[in-house]
Structure 1
Amino acid sequence: MTGVLPTNDDRPVLVLGPNPTPNGGMHLGHIAGPYLAGDVYARYQRARGRKVVFTTETDDSQTYVVASAGREGITPEALCKRSTAEIQEALRAIGISYDGFGPFDSMYKATVLQYFGALHAAGVFKLKTVRLPYLERTGEYMVEGLIEGDCPVCLASSRGGLCETCCHPNNFDQLLNPHSTINPDDKLTYREATIMVLPLEEYRERLTEYHERLAEHRRPHVRQMIAELLAQPLQDVPITFPLNWGIDAQFPEVPGQVLNAWLELIPAGMFTTAYAANNLGRDTVPGELWQRAENLRIVHFLGFDNAYYFCLPHIAMLMAHGDKYVWPESIINNEFYELESSKFSTSKRHVLTPQELLTEVPRDVARLYLALTAPEYQRSTFSRAGLDKLAEERLVGPWNQLAGSLAKAVANAGDDSIRLPVSPGARERVATMLERFDLGYEMPTFNLNRSAETVLVHIERLRQRAAVLDGVGLDEHPEAWGELFLEVKVLLASASPLLIDLVAAAQEAGVFDGSGVLVTGAYDVADVRPFAPPLLPTTPLGPSEPAGALA
């Protein structure tokens, strides 16, 4: 053992996934990043017996919705409705265990307006006259997802507002060579507009201290981005825009302007946290669970491409509310996930959805492969040949050999009610297993790749142990068998955030007594009951088959 004990931080946990923009469905590139990571983390916290709220909702106010709807020739409202259903189905299919997926409704809008209204009343926002791209043909200002050009910082192709390559803002008239994303042939000019802005530079010292204190809870790419931005004057952040799509800001200084959709996302989190908590049986209102008196920790999963907003403007706005709200502790980003070494592209039909994959591959196999190859620190790629190789050689094949050996031993014994002794050495190995899994599942060392690899390492290790005992009766070497059964049980429990159908089948078979399968002390035992582990299916489960059944 390393001497690093599993975390004992039992504070309630709020897990936030990114708010998907409802301008289309979801593909594996979306899932393999923050959504699977958030799900695995939330499931681990529940398995440890902790109180968890895991939530998100769609980001309907984004100008990306308007641009996509314009290209399709439908209304933004119709696109939001269709896309939200597609997004929810994709998340459900791959097993993302949200406690609540908040609706974009009147309560959502009221929560957002209350959050911004308090800051406006306190004089946090300032008026500023800026130059914005303008389309003379329609008389519209063109910002954010409505325009595309070259990033002034890294020169990569970028939408307005934020570059997804370097994650630096490009506000107002900073985007180079802008053109419309709806009709690239439209000629853009510039017009002045007076809007509300957040003077981000005023929060420099507090932002610097905040990120330095929580540096270990940020991945290297985000730490670099924060350092780059703090090394220069921080740009004013647009709070309102003169647009026709979005939530009316209701500020008298800028009548008719809407809120910057990117900055809705913290009050959106407050709203959907309450929505999810109510689903779990707690009667609460938006913002209540975010108050410091609740003593919870917030873990935010997101893609690198929007980390700027969550690391700087959003934190500054929380700071502007004084000591009322807790601030996110862990902000965990991911990079881009590719399909067979090329970028996912809906327009080029180079895309694979979770639903499509799951018609050919069992869900647990898909989840573990996505975790193993997730783009946590650099771009990575989905390979169907790689998935098939993993399933045959490292997951399904070895696990079913291991499970078959244990089932055979139980069947030969003819009595699964007996208790097998567990030695102190076995309990030490179990503690080592739990420690290594905790380092992969818990903050600040959370790592999907390492967690998935640890599952595979222990499957093979225990398969080899079982092979040595093949043909030996439980009564002949009860201690050796007892050690093996306990370690396999711990492996199943530790794999529960990833192999959700296998563990559901194990719970249904009575392998575990309750849902908190990783609560402290659960495996510090002197004996264990033998059991027949469920098998992993080799083909997808049918709609009427129970989770974990062998196809």
Structure 2
Amino acid sequence: MPADPRRPAVIVAATPTPNGDLHLGHLAGPYLAADVYARHLRSTGRPVVYTTCTDDSQSYVLATARRQGVPPQHLAATSTAAIARSLDALGISTGGLPPIGDTYRRTVVDFVSALHAAGRLRRRRVRLPYARNAGVHLYDGLLSGTCPTCLSESSGGACEACGHPNTFDELLDVRYSLDPDDPVEPREVEILVLPTEGYRDRLTEYYARHTPGWRPHARQLIAELLAGPLSDIPVTVPGTWGIPAPFPETPGQILYPWIEAMPASIYSTWWSRSRSTAAADEVDAHWRAATDTELVYFHGYDNVYHWGLVDLVMLMAHGDRYVLPSANVCNEFYELAGAKFSTSRNHLVRGHEVLADVPRDLLRFYLALTAPEYQRTTFDRAALPSIVQNRLVDPWNRLSRALDGVLDAAGVPDRLPASAEGRRRATTIADRFRTWYELPAFSLGQLADTLGTQVGRLAAEAESLAGTAGVGDLVVQVRALIAGAAPLLIDTAAIAHGDGWGGPDPAAAPETVAALRLPPLAGVGARRDRRLPVS
């Protein structure tokens, strides 16, 4: 059933860690998918906020900065600027990255302080790994070892391979990431936690309603987590990089970075939508349950535990104050030469490197076509030109040339009649695109495949036209094609709409259509059309 066209939507892509620029593994995952979904909803008239913000408090920022010999504040600032440029270069329509300043920190502190005041947090004496020579407690990016669930190499917090948490002293073969030779031992420390088991009944009910629409791998992980005891969520940890914990029970500790994700998303929603009109004490207005907002997360499999369980408990702990996510759209890893992209190993390709000679629409198409939705897929720079040329550019330009040829013929009126059959086919095109735009079936890969299939079919139809008969039926279908492709081929759609292909409802199938020409696509290596927008 189509969503209420008046219902507001908040779309959140996983918050990027500012310990370096984004690479194509990041961009091909949550950021492009969320952008396409947001653009589709906007095209239907829905009020949409698509947002994210950097998670500056992550220990990975501190670890990377120390490896590079730079202050972590400097690394976070330069990385945030690079991330913003990368998102803009690929046309990711978040409207910018919000500053991590006083309002951000106040939003986070207010969010957790409300839980403390309501008695939701508990003191726990836990064992944390401790680097003896460095004199620091280890968590997340400061820690490496072996996952106790799948025996893969893992950082602290959660395992990238199997997705299971390894909180506190559960990681095996532990090492200090910055100095593997520094002896590591468990030491007891008292922290504040949010006990997850108390939310089991509510979690079970939520998952019963929502996970049937999740992708299978994420759904399986949730089932595995529910089958055992649920780990307490650390709220504070002993550390120096992050937001100081505001609680008298934990002097000198910081807030655990992962519990910032929900107040961070609340803050970035406010910043993106109404920072010029809403007071700072109303930052969470767009997340309150009374708004009936459709909240959708886009993230990678390695974040299912955090975005699919930890963050859900963080919202539930506030009672009925906040909306809960309607969907979690999870992608797998995008690989390069058979291994996942890795900033630390410099095994990566940056978006700007490919965009130097690949038009943005073609890169978006290729990333969508090869998106790692249900399993790992591979970015192949050598194969990209031939794939986009054969699947999109050549048939698109054949269609453009054939349409030009027909319209150049004498006697073509300014408006062309479309038969009932032509309008039916246009509606079918719109319906096929809509199938893959809407949840839970949303799929970048199927969208790109549908686009390639319809372009090829319409090119053949255009080349078979004799005279001007049937031109209206062709044009009404091309109109539906452009509307369906618009959230993906953003630059081409902008040109087409400027040339008259848009309108109040470009996906509709009217009885007469304007005799318009289809803008051609530039191939790999071509310079951008000067008419293209910056983002």
> Could you say which TM-score interval applies, normalised by the shorter chain?
over 0.9
- TM alignment of 1:515-534, pairs within 5 A: 517-518=506-507, 523-534=508-519
Matched, 1:214 2:199: no
Distance verdict in 2 for CA 1:7–1:328, change over 3 Å: closer
Matched, 1:198 2:194: yes
Q: Which amino acid aligns with 1:492?
A: I
How far residue 296 of structure 1 moved from its aligned partner, in angstroms, is 1.3
- Work out which of the residue numbers 439, 459, 466 in structure 1 matches 2:462: 466
Which stretch shows the higher mean deviation, 489-498 or 537-546?
A: 537-546
- The answer to whether the 8 A contact 1:47-1:517 is kept is no
Mapping 1:99-118, distance limit 5 Å: 99-118=95-114
What pairs up with 1:106-505 in 2 under 5 angstroms? 106-278=102-274, 285-413=282-410, 418-469=414-465, 472-474=466-468, 477=469, 480-505=470-495
CA distance in 2, matches of 1:421, 1:282: 49
On the 8 A contact 1:102/1:275 being kept in 2, the answer is: yes
Task: Tell me which residue corresponds to 2:531.
Answer: 546
Query: How far apart in 2 are the matches of 1:166 and 1:280?
Result: 42
Amino acid in structure 2 at the alignment position of 1:527: T
- Please give the alpha-carbon distance, in whole angstroms, between the structure 1 residues aligned to 2:409 and 2:276: 44
Partner of 1:56: 52
Between the aligned partners of 2:120 and 2:420, the Cα distance in structure 1 is: 61
Q: Does the residue aligned with 1:101 lie in a helix, a strand or coil?
A: coil
- Structure 1 residues 203 and 64 mapped into 2: Cα distance closer, same or farther (>3 Å)? same
| CA offsets 1:294-325 (integer angstroms, 9 cap, x no match) | 12101100011011012212111211111111
Q: After superposition, what is the alpha-carbon deviation per residue over 1:39-95, rounded to whole angstroms, capped at 9, x for unaligned?
A: 000011111111110000100000011111111111110110111011111111111
- Structure 2 vs 1, CA of residues 282 and 421 (structure 1 numbering), >3 Å: closer, same or farther? farther
In the comparison of the two structures, how many residue pairs are matched? Answer: 533
How far off its partner does 1:389 sit? 1.7
Unaligned 5+ residue runs, structure 1? none
1:74 aligns with 2:70: yes
Q: Point out the more displaced range, 491-500 or 524-533.
A: 524-533
In the other structure, the counterpart of 1:507 is 497
**Closer, same or farther: CA 390–279 of 1 in aligned 2, 3 Å:** farther
Deviations 1:231-251 (A, max 9, x none): 111111111101001111110
Q: Is the Cα contact below 8 Å between 2:269 and 2:286 reproduced in 1? A: yes
Shift of 1:224: 0.5
RMSD: 1.9
**CA distance in structure 2 between the aligned counterparts of 1:141 and 1:210, rounded to whole angstroms:** 35
How far apart in 2 are the matches of 1:34 and 1:213?
23
**In 1, are the aligned partners of 2:143 and 2:155 still within 8 Å (CA)?**
yes
Question: The residue matched to 1:214 in structure 2 has which SS?
Answer: helix
Contact 1:203 1:316 in 2 (8 A): yes
Instruction: Please state how far the C-alpha of 1:137 moved relative to its aligned partner.
Output: 1.7
> Do 2:130 and 2:186's aligned partners in 1 also have CA atoms closer than 8 Å?
yes
Offset at 1:12? 1.3
Deviations 1:248-268 (A, max 9, x none): 111011112111111100110
Deviation at 1:345, TM superposition (A): 2.9
Shift, 1:9, TM fit: 5.4
Classify the secondary structure of the residue corresponding to 1:312. Answer: helix
1:508/1:283 Cα in 2 relative to 1: closer, same or farther (>3 Å)? Answer: farther
Conserved in 2, the CA contact under 8 Å of 1:7 and 1:442? no
Q: Please give the alpha-carbon distance, in whole angstroms, between the structure 1 residues aligned to 2:463 and 2:345.
A: 49
Between 535-544 and 228-237, the greater mean CA deviation after superposition: 535-544
**What is the identity, as a one-letter code, of the residue corresponding to 1:343?**
K
* Residues 79 and 221 of structure 1: CA distance in aligned 2, closer, same or farther (over 3 Å): same
Once the two structures are superposed, residues 263-293 of structure 1 have per-residue CA deviations (whole angstroms, 9 ceiling, x without a partner) of 1001101000000002697778311001112
Amino acid at match of 2:315: L
Aligned to 1:45, the other structure's residue is in SS state: helix
2:496 and 2:529 map into 1 onto residues whose CA distance is 18
Deviation of 1:217 after TM superposition, in Å, equals 2.8
- CA distance 1:111–1:414, shift in 2 (3 Å): farther
| CA deviation vs aligned residue, 1:411-464 (integer Å, no higher than 9, x gap) | 33476x621111122222222212211110111111111011000000001001
Looking at structure 1, the residues matched to 78 and 96 of structure 2 have their Cα atoms a distance apart, in angstroms, of 19
Q: Secondary structure at the match of 2:97?
A: strand
User: For residue 504 of structure 1, what is the amino acid of its counterpart?
Assistant: A
Shift of 1:161: 1.2
2:357–2:527 Cα contact (<8 Å) kept: no
The one-letter amino acid of 2:393's match is V
Distance 1:327 1:548, change over 3 A: closer
CA distance 1:414–1:360, change in 2 (3 Å): farther
- 8 Å contact kept, 1:413–1:473: no
Relative to structure 1, is the Cα distance of residues 421 and 468 closer, same or farther in structure 2, using a 3 angstrom cutoff?
same
| Cα offset, 1:138, TM superposition | 2.5
Contact 2:134 2:182 in 1 (8 A): no
Amino acid at match of 1:494: G
Match of 2:501, SS state, is: coil
Question: C-alpha separation between the residues in 2 aligned to 1:103 and 1:219?
Answer: 33
| Distance across 1 between alignment mates of 2:6 and 2:161 | 37
Deviates more, 1:534-543 or 1:247-256: 534-543
Contact 1:409 1:473 in 2 (8 A): yes
Q: Conserved in 2, the CA contact under 8 Å of 1:6 and 1:435?
A: no
- CA offsets, 1:469-518, max 9 Å, x none? 1xx433xx1xx11010010111011000111111011112122135x644
Q: For the Cα contact (< 8 Å) 1:100–1:272, is it kept in 2?
A: no
User: Which runs of no fewer than 5 residues in structure 2 stay unpaired?
Assistant: none
State how far apart, in whole Å, the 2-side matches of 1:545 and 1:384 are.
Answer: 26
For 2:461, give the aligned amino acid.
Answer: R
> Displacement, 1:535?
0.7
